[in-house]
Structure 1
Amino acid sequence: MESRRNMFFSYKKDPAKLNDIQALMTIAKEQGFTIVDRSADANIIVAIGGDGAFLQAVRKSGFRDDCLYVGVTDEVEASLYCDFHIHDRDAMIEAIQTAGVEVRRYPVLDVHLDGHTHFHCLNELSVRSSIIKTFVIDIHIDDLHFETFRGDGIVVSTPTGSTAYNRSLNGAVVDPRIPCMQVSEIASLNNNQFRTLGSPFVLGDSRKLTLSIVQDGNDYPIIGLDNEALSVQSIKNIEVEMSGKIIKTVKLKNNSFWHKVQRTFL
């Protein structure tokens, strides 16, 4: 980490936590880092506040693949994106001063709405009905019309996002070393007219997934990008691919993705 010396802190302005955050900044300065006021000037972006804060920091800084993101949780619960706790400052100093930090790389989704509006997702894209009525989506894999879905929605997750919304839909937890996306249904309706696979499925990083929303009056879905809802009007086509972009985060030795999954769920 010696060559990465410009550090930006991303956090909510909570007066109750300012002293702890100032203490972290002091440690960073003592260890030879420069605190900058803009994320664009940083080599390291430190997100304080748990997984939600980490996702917000990545989104607000533009999903940069030329910097290192560091997650610091201030919550009691375990965190999948955060390797440090805000009160465990000794662990941070030890990681900086020794060879205790490695780099992990997480794949990112590339999302296009109607061929023009473009977004990235680190966790998942979710498409849900905005009214109390099922809606219909034609699902294409590359050029193949795979199935016609009727139900409450679809979730497309990255490997790291497989532990979030996807897991609550009985999706598989996927190793982030596998660049892929997983497609899971939300309350699908299966009958003689509509028939879906009925289980989550995984697509490799060269595939393109297209969700074509049938215009039957339920044309205003809620589009979720990680932990943000997108304010949009009528949407017809959503194209999802693996972007090839990666997000780099710190990894403590003996604290792999699977250590975190075990600690969080088992």
Structure 2
Amino acid sequence: MAHRNHLYFYYLKDEDTDEKVSQLTEVAQSKGYKIVDHTDEANIIVSIGGDGTFLQAVRKSGFRQDALYVGITREGESGLYCDFNLDNFNEMLHLLMHEELEVRRFPVIKTRINNGTDHYCLNEVSIRSTIVKTIVIDVLIDDCHFETFRGDGLIVSTPTGSTAYNKSANGAVVDPLIPSFQVSEVASLNNNQYRTLGSSFILNKDRKLTLNIQSTGNDHPIISLDNEANPIRKIDSIEVEMDDAVIKTVKLKNNSFWDRVKRTFL
């Protein structure tokens, strides 16, 4: 891994962070790293901020399969994707320079809207009603009808995304070593006439999930990919699959996924 020495810093611009990045740049250059101006030129992409900033860094750089991502939190912040903080930046550089570097691989889901372009998601894709009216969605697993959902929306999350919006909708927290994706309901309508499973369910990575939106006057739901809304107005269908794409991050020793879950929630 010693050949990885082109760093790109991704962060939300403000005076305080600009000053810190300037200091980090000097430290990195003194260790033999080159700071580049674009993600395409980097083989190490460093986000400075919380999990939201990390998700943006991955998305804005195009879910690079040939780069390492590193999350650094600022003072007072914590993150499930961020192993480092500004105080142990030197330790991060040391890890990057040595062969015993441990890499964590986060599975991602691939989403196709209206049979169009593929979009990757590290956390989740969600579809929600934007009006005071339930959204009706036919849920198909491997092209076979499973249920017809009526409610405020659905969340399809990755294992690492299971601790985000999915968890707030009472979904399960899933170990990232299990390549899978989870479907969770948002305020489903269940009565004598309408019936859904009423709980989250987890699909193996080789399954295909299809969500067909029924035309019931709620034709313009909001689609969110991670923490970013998709601009498509008319949504007919969403296909979700999982291929071999992963996001590679530097792993700090003695800081497993479950260590971070415990630190964040317990």
Does TM, scored on the shorter chain, surpass 0.5? yes
Q: Counterparts of 2:243 and 2:229 in 1: how far apart (Å)?
A: 20
CA contact (8 A) 2:109 2:120 kept: yes
Q: Counterparts of 2:216 and 2:203 in 1: how far apart (Å)?
A: 28
Taking structure 1 as the reference length, what is the TM-score of the superposition?
A: 0.96
Find the counterpart in structure 2 of residue 146 from structure 1.
146
Find the counterpart in structure 2 of residue 193 from structure 1.
193
Q: CA deviation at 1:244?
A: 1.9
Q: CA deviation at 1:128?
A: 0.2
Q: CA deviation at 1:90?
A: 4.4
Residue type of the alignment partner of 1:179:
P
Paired-residue identity, %: 59
Residue type of the alignment partner of 1:31:
K
Q: Counterparts of 2:193 and 2:258 in 1: how far apart (Å)?
A: 41
Find the counterpart in structure 2 of residue 107 from structure 1.
107
CA contact (8 A) 1:100 1:253 kept: no
Cα deviations across residues 222-266 of structure 1 (Å, max 9, x unaligned)? 000000011111111100001321100010110111111111111
Find the counterpart in structure 2 of residue 209 from structure 1.
209
Cα deviations across residues 173-193 of structure 1 (Å, max 9, x unaligned)? 111111110000000000122
- CA 1:14/1:54 → structure 2, altered by over 3 Å: closer, same or farther? same
Taking structure 2 as the reference length, what is the TM-score of the superposition?
A: 0.96
Correspondence 1:250 to 2:250 = yes
Find the counterpart in structure 1 of residue 157 from structure 2.
157
Q: Counterparts of 1:243 and 1:74 in 2: how far apart (Å)?
A: 33
Residue type of the alignment partner of 2:230:
L
- CA 1:92/1:15 → structure 2, altered by over 3 Å: closer, same or farther? same
Residue type of the alignment partner of 1:115:
N
CA contact (8 A) 2:151 2:189 kept: yes
Aligned partner of residue 247 in structure 1, secondary structure: strand
Residue type of the alignment partner of 2:170:
N
Find the counterpart in structure 2 of residue 136 from structure 1.
136
Q: Counterparts of 2:110 and 2:96 in 1: how far apart (Å)?
A: 33
Q: Counterparts of 1:98 and 1:63 in 2: how far apart (Å)?
A: 24
Aligned partner of residue 52 in structure 2, secondary structure: helix
CA contact (8 A) 1:101 1:253 kept: no
Aligned partner of residue 252 in structure 1, secondary structure: coil
Q: Counterparts of 1:213 and 1:220 in 2: how far apart (Å)?
A: 10
Find the counterpart in structure 1 of residue 17 from structure 2.
17
Q: Counterparts of 1:52 and 1:249 in 2: how far apart (Å)?
A: 15
CA contact (8 A) 2:123 2:161 kept: yes
- CA 1:75/1:111 → structure 2, altered by over 3 Å: closer, same or farther? farther
Residue type of the alignment partner of 1:134:
T
Q: Counterparts of 1:159 and 1:220 in 2: how far apart (Å)?
A: 28
Number of aligned positions between the proteins: 266
Find the counterpart in structure 2 of residue 226 from structure 1.
226
Residue type of the alignment partner of 1:152:
D
Cα deviations across residues 120-157 of structure 1 (Å, max 9, x unaligned)? 10000010001111110000001210000000000000
Q: Counterparts of 1:246 and 1:106 in 2: how far apart (Å)?
A: 5
Correspondence 1:59 to 2:45 = no
- CA 1:123/1:75 → structure 2, altered by over 3 Å: closer, same or farther? farther
Q: Counterparts of 2:97 and 2:114 in 1: how far apart (Å)?
A: 49
Moved more, 251-260 or 81-90: 81-90
Structure 2 stretches lacking a partner, 5+ long: none
CA contact (8 A) 2:158 2:182 kept: yes
Q: Counterparts of 1:202 and 1:114 in 2: how far apart (Å)?
A: 23
CA contact (8 A) 2:143 2:209 kept: no
Residue type of the alignment partner of 1:55:
L
Residue type of the alignment partner of 1:173:
V
Aligned partner of residue 195 in structure 1, secondary structure: coil
CA contact (8 A) 2:2 2:99 kept: no
Q: Counterparts of 1:234 and 1:257 in 2: how far apart (Å)?
A: 37
Find the counterpart in structure 1 of residue 120 from structure 2.
120
Aligned partner of residue 146 in structure 1, secondary structure: strand
Aligned-CA RMSD value: 1.4
The answer to which structure has the higher strand fraction is 1
